[in-house]
Structure 1
Amino acid sequence: MLKEFRDFIAKGNVLDMAIGVVMASAFTSIVNSMVSDIIMPFVEAALGSTDFTSIVVKVAGITFRIGNFMQAVFTFLIISIVLFFVMKAVASLKNRFTHEEEEEEEEVDPTEALLTEIRDLLREEKQSASK
């Protein structure tokens, strides 16, 4: 049973997932800082405030804290937009590097081209000699 557990932990998928979780938690602080320190001041300048938690609705003696929900949705939307643009930038960079690698692979080695030409000439000579 210990061997099975060790094999399970050593599988690539489990390790990849663990690394992903650690990286995501580290990235969370970056995204939160970007939203609270860079994006929200612009939103506050446009809207006057970014704190909706004080908005409440009382119906039949029940207090609905709609502001808390609005704050959560607003924060989610801003984080989603920021992540969208970050992922778009990363995909663009990845495509650029992939495209450069493909161009490098497409370049023909001069030695290979010369050998191919010699082979073709020898084939032609052999075919014309056999006729």
Structure 2
Amino acid sequence: MIKEFREFIARGNVMDMAVGIIIGAAFTAIVSSMVDDLINPIIGLFTGGIDFSNMYLVMSGNVPDGASLQAARDSGAAVFAYGSFLMAVLNFLIVAWVVFLLVKAVNRARDMAIAKKEEEAPAPTGPSQEELLAQIRDLLAARAA
């Protein structure tokens, strides 16, 4: 069983998956920092710092006016916490947009590197397709005669 486990771990796809998970964790830190430290403050400027997370409706129970969502939950009241859901959706959209922009930038950089390699590659030497076709035509014509 240890031998099978060693073979399983040594396979390339398992190692690729491990590298992907590690890179994904690092990428998550970058995206989280970009959203929390760069994007959210800009959005806060435009929205006046509105925080939807404490918006809720009391379905049943007694909650003092102006109480926070946590206080309403702690009082045992049934609350419809639509603000938390709105914040989760908004955060998802922001993170998705940031990931899209990062992937787009990486793809653009990769395409530029590939284009540069293609420019540096030497042009193929030898006859063109038209020249080869002309040679074949001439050979066929000489063979037929």
Q: Secondary structure at the match of 1:53?
A: helix
Give the Cα–Cα distance (whole angstroms) in 2 for the partners of residues 102 and 5 of structure 1: 43
Equivalences for residues 93-104 of structure 1 within 5 A: 93-104=109-120
| Unaligned segments of structure 2, at least 5 residues | 62-77, 128-145
Counterpart pick for 1:72 among 88, 93, 104: 88
The offset of 1:51, in angstroms, is 2.3
2:27 equivalent to 1:27: yes
Alignment CA distance shift 1:67-1:99 (3 Å) = same
How big is each residue's C-alpha offset from its partner over 1:6-41, in whole Å with a ceiling of 9 and x where there is no partner?
A: 111011111111111111111211111111111111
| Alignment match, 2:46 | 46
| Alignment match, 1:55 | 55
Q: Secondary structure at the match of 1:107?
A: coil
Q: What count of residue pairs does the alignment treat as equivalent?
A: 111
Letter in 2 for 1:73: V
| Alignment match, 1:126 | none
Alignment CA distance shift 1:79-1:92 (3 Å) = same
Q: Which one has more relative contact order, counting CA pairs under 8 Å at least 6 apart?
A: 2
The offset of 1:87, in angstroms, is 0.4
The offset of 1:59, in angstroms, is 2.5
Q: Secondary structure at the match of 1:99?
A: helix
Alignment CA distance shift 1:107-1:42 (3 Å) = same
What TM-score, normalized by structure 2, do the two folds share? 0.70
Alignment CA distance shift 1:107-1:50 (3 Å) = farther
Give the Cα–Cα distance (whole angstroms) in 1 for the partners of residues 10 and 99 of structure 2: 31
What TM-score, normalized by structure 1, do the two folds share? 0.77
| Alignment match, 1:123 | none
CA RMSD of aligned residues (A): 1.7
| Unaligned segments of structure 1, at least 5 residues | 118-131
Q: Which has a greater percent of helix?
A: 1
Runs of 4+ residues deviating >6 angstroms: none
